[in-house]
Chain A
């Protein structure tokens, strides 16, 4: 087989992959239309996966009682892929928002990341970050090792938040030690940082960052480790 034949076969294989990805999305849209015609309500409660009747619709009136069942609502998960605009949005904020939407859509569905079905600008802007968001949780050792050679799509994250710790008099050596530095997928980093900054009923209406101001290093580290686990970065 000469070089030209090999090149043609490679192109055909690529085309087949793209067609499969497009077909998947078209089928999803078609199912959505059929479901709408059949009176399907995406927000109807469902029994969570893992139960014997997992995934089945819950009847009206069950939820909200004093003995509320454990359930999630079908509407929590996006049914269709985000409708990413073909034209690149003018602001970095908008471009980031689309990247996050696509990453979250892929993370909460079983779809694999088929870059070819998304707009070129999004791939240029967010390919590494989306792929990083979809990586499975890692051990602490792995995250610490990755911080020495940060891969694309990851940020350096301080388990004990660096600026508040510095403001509260902890030494720079401690804050910047290898034990406190981990590599975290950029979008998950934003989610964790967002949690630290938002006001919270749990902490007397303070944000976790404000609450931790008076806390010792060990408490800050315990919170930081748990935040990594809960946000799907660190293996439980």
Chain B
């Protein structure tokens, strides 16, 4: 990460979120789990910073619901679930419906765990 999240502009935060998602996508496809998890921690810092900004700027991530990268779409939907539940859920469901692994599996398990009360997205 070039800059600390608290020093980044909103545009830089969103760009970093996308960059991390694309890198996670490649890691997930090649079963590079530790790389994926390190990127997850970086993504979390970005999300927390967006949430901290005035009026919870995570809402900027809603614009990524139609990003070409499937991992970016999944990350965006899960990160905005609390702000836009209906729209986020539709994106997650659409990813589950693609049957393209590992994203469809992850999306399908998210929906199931939310419905069963095991998981929670805030």
| Chain A residues at the B interface, C-beta cutoff of 8 Å | 43, 45, 48, 63-73, 75-77, 97, 100, 104, 107-108, 188, 190-192, 194-195, 197-205, 207-208, 219, 222-223, 226-227, 230-232
Q: Which residue of A lies closest to B88 (CB)?
A: A68
8 tightest CB-CB pairs across the interface, nearest first?
A: A63-B66, A202-B119, A230-B108, A43-B68, A68-B87, A199-B40, A64-B65, A68-B65
What residues of chain B lie closer than 8 Å to A71, measured between beta carbons?
A: 66, 94
Contact, CB under 8 Å: B28 / A198: yes
What residues of chain B lie closer than 8 Å to A223, measured between beta carbons?
A: 113, 118
What residues of chain B lie closer than 8 Å to A191, measured between beta carbons?
A: 101-102, 105
| Chain B residues at the A interface, C-beta cutoff of 8 Å | 28, 30-31, 33, 36-37, 40-41, 44, 62-66, 68, 70, 73, 78-79, 84, 86-88, 90-91, 93-102, 104-106, 108-110, 112-114, 116, 118-121
Can you offer 23 A-B residue contacts whose CB atoms are under 8 A? A63-B65, A65-B87, A68-B65, A69-B90, A70-B91, A70-B93, A71-B66, A72-B98, A75-B68, A77-B100, A104-B100, A191-B102, A191-B105, A194-B31, A194-B102, A195-B105, A199-B36, A199-B40, A202-B78, A202-B109, A207-B37, A230-B96, A230-B108
What residues of chain B lie closer than 8 Å to A63, measured between beta carbons?
A: 65-66
A-B contact sample (13 more), CB < 8 A, given A194-B33, A195-B105:
A66-B87, A68-B62, A70-B91, A77-B98, A108-B98, A191-B102, A198-B28, A202-B113, A202-B119, A202-B121, A203-B118, A223-B118, A230-B104
Contact, CB under 8 Å: A67 / B87: yes
CB distance from B11 to the nearest CB of A (A): 16
What residues of chain B lie closer than 8 Å to A197, measured between beta carbons?
A: 33, 37
Q: Report the separation of the CA atoms of residues A222 and B84 in the bound assembly, to the nearest whole angstrom.
A: 28
Contact, CB under 8 Å: A198 / B33: yes
Taking a contact as CB atoms closer than 8 A, the residue among A43, A65, A108, A201 that contacts B78 in the complex is A201
Q: Report the separation of the CA atoms of residues A233 and B106 in the bound assembly, to the nearest whole angstrom.
A: 15
Query: Assuming A63-B65, A194-B28, A198-B28, is B100 touching A76 (CB within 8 A)?
Result: yes
